[in-house]
Amino acid sequence: DTGVSQDPRHKITKRGQNVTFRCDPISEHNRLYWYRQTLGQGPEFLTYFQNEAQLEKSRLLSDRFSAERPKGSFSTLEIQRTEQGDSAMYLCASSQGTSYEQYFGPGTRLTVT
């Protein structure tokens, strides 16, 4: 078990470009979560999946954001037409069964110039 992995670890993009991040959860974890963490703040919930179903989305997840988990394994988070305000650390986490204990990945740091 290698833990939750995220790719890329760092991404620098120009405003207006699209970016996509990937998260691989711990094997057999059926729940997968995305959070956003800005400097000096705690992580903020964005969305979560149970298997392939997206069960909840935060109001923070504007129309420019989309997340998928097509086969109930890895997940992608896409941001279209990036803005400077999107600069943040994007964290992925996973959990198993009915456990409320989430395991976090190392995050993808996005910088929009």
**Euclidean distance between CA atoms 106 and 64, whole angstroms:** 23
Nearer to other proteins, 63 or 101 (CB): 101
Nearer to other proteins, 26 or 80 (CB): 26
Shortest Å, Cβ 81 to other proteins: 27
Distances (CA, A) of 53 to 47, 60, 85: 11, 19, 28
CA 105 to chain centre: 9
- Residues that bind other proteins in the complex, under the rule CB under 8 A: 3-4, 31, 33, 35, 40-45, 48, 50, 55-56, 91, 95, 100-107
Nearer to other proteins, 75 or 102 (CB): 102
Shortest Å, Cβ 18 to other proteins: 26
Shortest Å, Cβ 49 to other proteins: 10
Enumerate long-range contacts of 67-71, CB under 8 Å, 24 or more apart: 67/34, 69/32
Shortest Å, Cβ 106 to other proteins: 4
**Euclidean distance between CA atoms 62 and 82, whole angstroms:** 11
